[in-house]
A and B are shown apart, each in its own frame.
Chain A
Amino acid sequence: MKHLFVPLTIAKLLVEKGFNEPCIAFYDYKSELTIFEQHPETNITCYKNSEVRQEGNVLAPLNQQVIEWFAKEHKIYICIDSIREDYFLFALWSFTGKKNIHDEGESFENYNDCLTNAIKEASTFI
């Protein structure tokens, strides 16, 4: 299920940029992804970066969480387009200026590489 979460480098970058949404998984000091154990008696178990106490642990946001975080917190919408399963492009839209701040350029062979690059680019605007 690792592909559902942003890579560690992006997770660290997001911490620097102030990402503090609750997450259901984290990267430990060995860079391994672990999903928090869940309990049916409560609801979903998750933590925020501000609640992580163990040094070296970084919360692992889901791809969809990051897209929503940029849209809601920074009014930047990451748009991933695809017309084939091995051809992905990204564009960035700013809601504040109602403008396209990064037009589709380089293409990527898979969704995750495309999204990773989109997040890096979007991070330069905040």
Chain B
Amino acid sequence: MEKELNYLFIPYEQALELNKLGFNEKCSFYWSIGYEDFKQILSSEKYQKGNSISAPLYQQAFKFFTDKGLMYCINPSSTFGKYQVGFLGKHGWELIKDSDGKNLRYSYEEAETSCLKKLITLCKEQQNKSNLDLIKADAVSMIDEYGKETAITLANSYIEECIELKGDTFYWEQLKKLIIEYTS
């Protein structure tokens, strides 16, 4: 019986990243968190414990990104048996290049992994951008509702509260910055 099918699944590190990005598809396999070095990394749902994350297949991971509008391609290059990886950006398809601007060529497995890593980066950028868009809308709304001074005072008080509770101040810091920017 053949048992080595691990290559079908995205690596542990990327599985953690996908989990953070909101991947929530049904999987048949799971990683036990912190046990990525062990051979018995994959277990069935039946044996799943609380401290685990889903182990997506490459095809599941890629679909997760295309559903978010991140289009990619893994195409054969002119070099025999090698592949290039590209992404659909504002200016059309853009291939992954090296520091000299030459298109990078990979084996199929390398292409899959490189493509996945790049998609994770693009998805994070997309999320940050959409978070920033939301904060911008909130800033405008607060200025309209309270006026500049009160809005800044409110933002400051929430920043202090976050610090006191050891929470993340990013949202309120950004909001305050935007209120000042929009009203100056």
Contact = CB atoms under 8 A, between A and B. Distances in A.
Given A1-B26, A40-B44, A40-B47, A63 B75 contact: no
Interface in A20-72: 22, 24, 35, 37-48, 51, 62-65, 68, 71-72
Interface stretch (B65-73, B132-140, B141-149, B171-179): B65-73
Given A35-B28, A40-B43, A46-B3, A98 B80 contact: yes
Contacts of A44: 3-6, 29, 42
B8 A95 contact: no
B5 A38 contact: no
Contacts, number: 93
Interface string B105-121: 00010000000000000
Contacts of B75: 77, 79, 93
A4 B57 contact: yes
B80 A38 contact: no
Contacts of A4: 57, 59-60
A100 to B, nearest CB: 9
**Which among A39, A40, A68 has the highest number of chain B CB atoms within 10 Å?**
A40
Contacts of A40: 40, 42-44, 47
A109 interface: no
B42 A38 contact: yes
Interface residues of B, number: 36
Contact of B8 (A1, A37, A64): A64
B108 to A, nearest CB: 6
Contacts of A39: 43-44, 47
A77 B74 CA distance: 10
Given A85-B66, A93-B76, A43 B88 contact: no
Contact of B3 (A43, A51, A82): A43
A63 B74 CA distance: 15
A45 B73 CA distance: 31
Given A35-B28, A46-B1, A95-B80, 6 more contacts: A4-B60, A22-B4, A42-B3, A43-B42, A93-B76, A111-B66
The 4 closest A-B pairs by CB, nearest first: A38-B44, A40-B43, A22-B2, A43-B3
